[in-house]
Amino acid sequence: MLINVASQLFRECFSSDPHPFVSDGFIELNKNKVDQIVRLIVENGTNSIGLVGGIKNNTLKSPFSAPFGGFHFNTSESFIDEILIFLNLLKEYVIENNLQKVEITLPPDIYHHSVNTKFINAFIRSGYTMATPEITNWIDLTLFDGTFTKREVMKNYRKAIINQLTIENVSEDAMKAKALDIIAVNRKLFDRPMYLTFADLTETGKVIPIDFFLVRDNNNSEVGSAIFYRGHSDIIQGTFWADTEVGRSIRSMDFLALNLFNYYKKLGFKYIDLGTSSVAGIPNQGLVRFKEIHNCTSSLRFSFIWSR
């Protein structure tokens, strides 16, 4: 059976986190958004797999306040049978604790490709229902040579250079707030939800380092911005980026993308996770195309549900 253990014991079983959204700091920051936090391991087991989740509305969720959650594990060579046993025990835990269902969203493959493959296989074999996978995009910085493959995109970037655009990693709260304002206006324009406030980002920044960028034109007006998380040793998460209407006409996004890719490559990161390009499984075709012509790869992010 699965047992809910204290944070200290769970940490003794799993000394590292596969990504920041299942870390102690992030879970503690967001614990007020659920009725209860649970940290599940197999009783008298090898403790090779664990799950941190939140219970709300009679549902066990991982994540409960993040783009993805998923499992802790001690090695990417975990046996598929161990994963299958854990998922079946998880269904028993839902029943024994009078819960209605469990919902789990795995991270994109760049966080742990082999483990994802085994979990997806085990989820299906153990009777979980798979939601329509979301399309997610990322760039492999180890293969990025400092330029975009598509000629049209490099032409747009050169237009940005002619327009004398500049980029700055800003640290003042007023400028950070300006970066978020640009993104919020852009998302409203394109009917995309905005869940985080500046206060939310400030609190999140206490447990995950956050970079804020502003792009300015030759009049020193802000025409684009980006907010990226540094919560992983190898992977940067591109949480938000956007341009203004003026910025769009002078190719600020092409300028922003190339500069950010080169910036994080020089810092030694291997990937940038640029998030989903779909909502509830429905792709935003323009967003998918934009990322793909800027050297990004499309792959799937999986979610699974089991209900009593």
Mean pLDDT of all residues belonging to the chain: 96
Which residues are CB-neighbours of 253 under 8 A, at least 6 positions away? 224, 241, 242, 243, 247, 290
Please state, in angstroms and rounded to a whole number, the distance separating the CA atoms of residues 163 and 243. Answer: 15
193-215 b/e with 16+ CB inside 10 Å = b?
Answer: eeeeeeeebeebeebbebbbbbb
Please state, in angstroms and rounded to a whole number, the distance separating the CA atoms of residues 307 and 94. Answer: 9
Please state, in angstroms and rounded to a whole number, the distance separating the CA atoms of residues 252 and 255. Answer: 5
Residue with tokens 């993308």: 257
pLDDT, residue 191, reads 82
pLDDT, residue 113, reads 84
All structural domains of the chain with their residue ranges: 2-132+303-307, 142-269
Contact 77, 51 (CB under 8 A): no
- Type of residue at 183: I
Pairing status of strand 222-229 against strand 101-105: unpaired
pLDDT classification of 260: cutoffs 50, 70, 90 = very high
Residue 45 has pLDDT above 80, yes or no: no
Contact 258, 248 (CB under 8 A): no
Q: Tell whether domain 142-269 is in CATH 2.60.40.10.
A: no
pLDDT classification of 165: cutoffs 50, 70, 90 = very high
pLDDT, residue 46, reads 79
- Do the domains spanning 2-132+303-307 and 142-269 agree at the CATH topology level? yes
Please state, in angstroms and rounded to a whole number, the distance separating the CA atoms of residues 37 and 42. Answer: 17
| Predicted confidence (pLDDT) per residue in 108-159, tens digit | 999 988 999 999 999 999 999 999 999 999 999 999 999 999 999 999 999 9
Q: Where are the beta strands (DSSP E) in the chain?
A: 2-4, 36-42, 49-56, 59-62, 71-73, 101-105, 129-130, 134-140, 166-170, 210-216, 222-229, 235-243, 271-276, 278-279, 282-283, 297-301, 303-307
| Predicted confidence (pLDDT) per residue in 189-225, tens digit | 888 888 899 999 999 999 999 999 999 999 999 999 9
pLDDT, residue 221, reads 97
Q: What percent of the chain has pLDDT over 70?
A: 100
2-132+303-307 in CATH: which number?
A: 3.40.630.30
